[in-house]
Structure 1
Amino acid sequence: MPAQRLSVVLTRRLPEIVETRMTELFNVQLREDDTPMSRAELVAAMAQADVIVPCITDRIDGGMLGQAGDRLKLVANYGAGVDHIDVATARQRGILVSNTPGVMTDDTADMALALILAVLRRLPEGMAAMQAGNWDGWAPTAFMGGRVAGKRLGILGMGRIGQAVARRASAFGMQVHYHNRRRLHADIETALEATYWDSLDQMISRMDVISVNCPHTPSTFHLMNARRLKLMKPQAVIVNTSRGEVIDENALTRMLRAGEIAGAGLDVFEKGREVNPRLRELPNVVLLPHMGSATREGRIEMGEKVIINIKTFADGHRPPDLVVPSML
């Protein structure tokens, strides 16, 4: 007699091919619309499922996990970042947490380079003029931006994505610098032609472009605070494809408005969907709706990783992408 299939709840709509495969393997409760679940809905879902598959839009705190009851055994996150999940409390309650690392590396790195190009070359301003019908023709001094080649790029966080950004930036002729919790092996540094800075402050003050590629943890919250932002050169720009909480968004907005920083490209924001309205008014700022991992290939691969984690758990083994508090 075959073993009973796990009960799995999806909190958002996933790519159709992922949902179909999950339905073949598990007893799946699909989300009919694509709106985030309320807190009450999440608590109810955790109480009735063996596995819940949340996304970054679902904040799962200790109080909610305390109401989950005894059935929930795995939180199989659809995404790499798990700062929206209280992993420590989950572990204390015997609930495993898995994620999907490595899938969106190239997609996010592509977006970081796209933002660098867009800000330095003033692409949104040119697009706005064309769409509004305000272009009077070519002029020697119109829409002058900055050349990408030769710029010094400071990468904050040199994990998979940071290294992928470094490879792309090098191909564009940028000089790569980085700050990281741990220095890379010398062979990797040599291959990337990357210069390591033990002092984040010293690196920031010398760079033309800062790319934020570190995760959001208690130690990285407002890592780019007002004091550090003031270290940036007035002609420097900053891009963020990681987590909005790493940058003090209010301080960044004030400095952009005052001309103390030349520009910014942001795919993530400190308060999620609540984007500072003053940022929207600035012509030297490129704002994107968290599109870093938004490729068909990437989102399907994320789903495949979720399936592997759940299937491995169902077979009585440790999920390959298990997250433990010591990793954070």
Structure 2
Amino acid sequence: MSREKAESLVNFMADLGIKTVSLIGGEPNLYRDLFYVLDLISQNGMGIMITSNGRRFSDIRFSRKMAKYKFQNISISLKGIDREQYMRQTNADGFDDVCQGIKNLAAEGLSPSLFFTFGRTALGHIDKTLEFLSSLEANSIAMNFANPVIIDGKARDMDAPDPVQIADAYTRIIRKIPSIDKDMFLAPSIPLCLLDPDIKAIAIKRKMLTGTCYARVGSGLIFSPEGEVIPCHQFTDYALGSYGADFTDIGSFKAFWYGDKCLNFRRMMNNYPSADCIECADWVNCFGGCPIKWFYFHPQRYIKKGVTA
């Protein structure tokens, strides 16, 4: 993204009254105008969050420069729990850099949060993964399960576990969380009918749900490097519209955001995946899981008839 486009988008978000700007990848720490954008966000009175692979934080000078900003959150997206797994996932020998980066952030008073995605191949290492994550100097740990991704209009596997595999892994993790001295969050992203009653109750109590997903309710705005509005991270090649073409100011943005294309997309994301969901009492808690899953997995194979409202 050019500096000019980044500046226009930051100023536009400030005009909209956006409270927090989250910088995500690619890898934001490699963006040539990163500090210019951080300054601009700060000057506009918006909070800053950043999600990074963590490698550049291994440079203590870079970490100290970043410590001058008031981040609401720095999240390190971990691509592996050891050097071998990291190299398989990224084709890069960066595991030691990530671990050093986390230490540097903690030393600068920027204790990060950690983010880990369980792909299908990682489900065989749940205990080892939890042990490793809890050993790092972080203030919280968030985990999720890999989703299919929409590419060229088709859902691709991307090492995504199926809903039954997720239910089993989620149950195992939830039962281990009480023994871990860390603040942990895990989103199941599946229908609650796949969980045993005791685990379902924990999921509801911990608010590990999918109904408030920004793609469902339109509560978040994602800009691509080209200034396009993409509906969620799984729809990276589908744009709802773009800054400069479909809107340029608050008035034209409202017409776009509440126009037919965006509203129809949100309606689609809120469709019942199965007829069994229509009268299910748990719909208000799970909303049928993440709708992206049902672009790849067939809901009738997984969704059970739950408790009737």
Same topology, TM > 0.5: no
More helix by share: 2
Q: TM-score normalised to the size of structure 2?
A: 0.29
Higher relative contact order structure (alpha carbons within 8 Å, sequence separation ≥ 6): 1
